C-alpha cells in the first residue's frame, strides 16, 4: 500500500485522520503532504461542498467568509471561477469585507466580484462591502475598498451610506477617511442627513470640509437650513450661523422666534433680516411667531414694521388686528397702512379685527375693548363692513359666528349707514 512520504503512514490512515479533522486542517494537511495532494483534494472539496450545502453557501462564499485565501486562489487558478455565478462572487466579497479578510479582496475582484455593488435585501448583500467595513470600523478595509473603486455615495435599502454607518457606530477614523475621499456634492448630501439625525458635531465637520448648505435633499428638496427651521432645531441653526452664515440674518431671525429672544430678534433685524422672507420655513416671521405663540416677538416685529420704511405695513396690519394690538394698529395706520387692503384670500384688516382667524391666539372674548377700538379705527380709515373675502363672508358674518353682541351691534350699525349712503 502506498505511503505518504511526509507522514510516513498509509494513505488510508490519512483519509481516516482527515475525516475527523475540520476543513481548515484538512486543507492544511493537503498543502503540506505532497503525496496526498491529489487524493485529499477530492475529499476536501467533497467535504466543503457538504458544508456549503448545509450553510447555504457556495464554496467561494465559504472560503471568503473564513478567509481561506488558498481556496480562492485554487478556484481562480484552475478555472473554476468560470463556473462561479456573478452573484456568488458579489456575496463572497461582501463576506470577506464583513469579516475583515483583506487578503481575499484582490483575488475576488480579479475573479469578477463587484466592489461597488448596489445593496439589496439579501442576508449578506444588505450592505455593500464598503458599508460592512464602515459598520465594523475596519479602516484598513475601508482604505482598500476605496482604492479599488468602491463608491462612497452608494446607499443601502435604509437609504444610508458607508459614511453614515461609520458615524452611527462611532468609528471616527473611518468617518474622517471617507470624508477626505468624498466629493463636494456628497458632503452636502451628508450635511442634510447629519442635521436630520441631530449629529451636530458631524454637521460642524462637514461645514469645515466645505459642504454647501444650499444643496437640496434628494428626498424632499429641502436645504439643511430649511430642515433646521422647520424642526425647530435651534442648536443646528446656531452652528450654521456660526459657520459663515452671518450674511443670512434670516437664520438668526428664526433662532429668535424659536427661543422667544427679543435681543436676538433686534440683532437679526439690524443685520437686515426680512420678516416676510419665506425661503426657510415656508412661513413669514409673523406667521412663525403666531404659530409658536410668541407674543413678545410678534409685537417686536410689528413695531419694527411701523418704524422701518421698507416693510409691508399692510401685512403687519393684518397681524396687529388679528392679535388685538390697538396701539400697533393706530401706528401702522398713521404710517400709511391701508385699512381695507385684501390679502391673498380676500381677508381684510376688518376680518382679522373681529377674530375671523381663530386658530392661534384664540382669545377674542378677552380683547373685546381692543377689538372695538381697532374696528372703529379701521372704519374711520375707509374700511367697509360689506367687503367680503373669497368665500363671500363679511366681517359681520364672522362676528355673528361667535356671538359677540357689542361687535355685532357696531358692525350692523355701520352696515346700515353704508346701505343708506349707497
| pLDDT tens by residue, 102-122 | 999 999 999 889 998 877 766
Q: Say yes or no to pLDDT of 5 above 70.
A: no
Q: How many CB atoms lie within 10 A of CB 222?
A: 18
Spatial distance between the Cα atoms of 220 and 268, rounded to a whole number of angstroms: 28
In sequence order, what DSSP letters do the residues of 214-237 get, joined into one string? TPPPTTT---HHHHHHHTT-HHHH
H or E, element range at 164: helix 162-168
Sketch out the chain's domains with CATH numbers.
310-355+363-382+404-409 (1.25.40.20)
| pLDDT tens by residue, 225-276 | 888 877 878 888 888 877 765 557 888 888 888 888 888 888 888 888 888 8
Q: What is the mean pLDDT of the chain?
A: 81
User: What is the dihedral sign for C-alpha 344, 347, 350, 351?
Assistant: negative
What pLDDT, on a 0 to 100 scale, did the predictor assign at position 374? 95
Q: Which ranges constitute the DSSP H helices of 271-404?
A: 285-291, 295-307, 313-322, 326-334, 349-353, 368-380, 395-401
Cα–Cα distance list, 160 to 92, 126, 188 (Å): 22, 11, 14
Angle between helix axes 37-55 and 23-32 (nearest 10 degrees) is 160
H or E, element range at 18: helix 11-20
| 0.75 surpassed by pTM | no
Spatial distance between the Cα atoms of 386 and 376, rounded to a whole number of angstroms: 15
3-state SS, residue 150: coil
Confidence grade of residue 217 (pLDDT, cut at 50, 70, 90): confident
Do residues 26 and 47 make contact, with C-beta atoms less than 8 angstroms apart?
yes
What pLDDT, on a 0 to 100 scale, did the predictor assign at position 203? 86
Instruction: Please write down the long-range contacts of 126-129, taking CB distance under 8 Å and 24 or more positions apart.
Output: 126/156, 126/157, 127/94, 127/98, 127/156, 127/165, 128/94, 128/154, 128/156, 128/162, 129/93, 129/94, 129/96, 129/97, 129/98, 129/105
Q: Pick from 191, 187, 210: which is nearest to 201 by CA?
A: 191
Q: First vs last Cα of the chain: how many Å apart?
A: 128
| pLDDT tens by residue, 44-76 | 555 555 555 555 777 788 888 888 887 788 777
| pLDDT tens by residue, 353-374 | 998 776 555 566 668 889 999 9
Residue partners of 310: CB distance under 8 A and separation at least 6: none
What pLDDT, on a 0 to 100 scale, did the predictor assign at position 219? 75
Q: Say yes or no to pLDDT of 213 above 90.
A: no
Confidence grade of residue 320 (pLDDT, cut at 50, 70, 90): very high
Do residues 39 and 11 make contact, with C-beta atoms less than 8 angstroms apart?
yes
Confidence grade of residue 20 (pLDDT, cut at 50, 70, 90): very low
Amino acid at each position: 500500500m502506498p505511503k505518504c512520504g511526509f507522514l510516513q503512514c498509509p494513505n488510508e490512515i490519512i483519509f481516516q485522520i482527515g475525516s475527523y479533522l475540520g476543513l481548515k486542517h484538512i486543507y492544511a494537511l493537503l498543502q503540506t503532504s505532497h503525496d496526498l495532494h491529489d487524493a485529499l483534494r477530492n475529499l476536501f472539496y467533497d467535504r466543503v461542498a457538504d458544508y456549503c450545502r448545509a450553510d447555504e453557501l457556495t464554496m467561494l462564499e465559504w472560503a471568503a467568509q473564513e478567509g481561506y485565501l488558498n481556496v480562492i486562489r485554487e478556484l481562480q487558478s484552475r478555472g473554476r471561477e468560470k463556473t462561479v455565478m456573478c452573484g456568488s462572487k458579489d456575496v463572497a466579497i461582501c463576506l470577506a469585507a464583513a469579516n475583515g479578510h483583506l487578503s481575499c479582496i484582490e483575488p475576488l475582484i480579479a475573479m469578477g466580484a463587484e466592489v461597488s455593488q448596489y445593496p439589496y435585501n439579501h442576508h449578506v448583500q444588505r450592505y455593500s462591502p464598503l458599508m460592512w467595513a464602515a459598520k465594523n470600523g475596519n479602516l484598513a478595509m475601508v482604505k482598500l475598498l476605496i482604492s479599488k473603486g468602491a463608491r462612497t455615495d452608494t446607499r443601502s435599502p435604509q437609504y444610508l451610506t458607508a459614511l453614515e454607518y461609520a458615524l452611527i457606530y462611532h468609528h471616527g477614523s473611518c468617518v474622517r477617511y471617507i470624508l477626505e475621499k468624498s466629493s463636494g456634492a456628497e458632503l452636502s448630501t451628508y450635511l442634510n442627513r447629519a442635521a436630520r439625525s441631530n449629529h451636530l458635531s458631524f454637521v460642524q465637520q462637514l461645514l469645515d470640509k466645505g459642504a454647501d448648505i444650499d444643496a437640496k435633499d434628494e428626498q424632499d428638496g429641502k436645504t439643511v437650513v430649511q430642515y433646521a427651521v422647520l424642526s425647530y432645531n435651534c442648536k443646528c441653526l446656531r452652528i450654521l450661523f456660526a459657520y459663515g452664515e452671518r450674511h443670512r440674518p434670516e437664520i438668526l431671525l428664526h433662532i429668535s422666534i424659536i427661543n422667544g429672544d427679543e435681543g436676538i430678534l433686534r440683532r437679526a433685524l439690524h443685520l437686515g433680516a426680512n420678516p416676510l422672507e419665506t425661503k426657510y420655513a415656508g412661513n413669514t416671521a409673523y406667521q412663525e411667531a403666531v404659530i409658536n405663540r410668541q407674543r413678545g416677538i410678534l409685537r417686536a416685529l410689528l413695531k419694527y414694521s411701523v418704524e422701518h420704511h421698507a416693510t409691508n405695513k399692510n401685512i403687519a396690519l393684518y397681524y396687529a388686528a388679528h392679535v388685538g394690538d390697538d396701539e400697533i394698529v393706530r401706528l401702522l395706520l398713521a404710517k400709511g397702512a391701508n385699512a381695507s387692503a385684501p390679502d391673498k384670500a380676500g381677508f381684510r384688516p376688518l376680518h382679522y379685527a373681529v377674530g375671523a382667524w381663530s386658530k392661534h391666539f384664540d382669545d377674542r372674548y378677552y380683547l373685546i375693548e381692543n377689538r372695538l377700538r381697532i374696528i372703529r379705527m379701521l372704519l374711520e380709515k375707509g374700511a367697509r363692513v360689506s367687503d367680503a373675502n373669497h368665500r363671500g363672508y363679511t366681517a359681520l358674518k364672522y362676528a355673528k359666528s361667535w356671538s359677540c353682541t357689542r361687535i355685532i351691534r357696531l358692525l350692523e350699525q355701520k352696515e346700515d349707514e353704508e346701505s343708506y349712503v349707497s
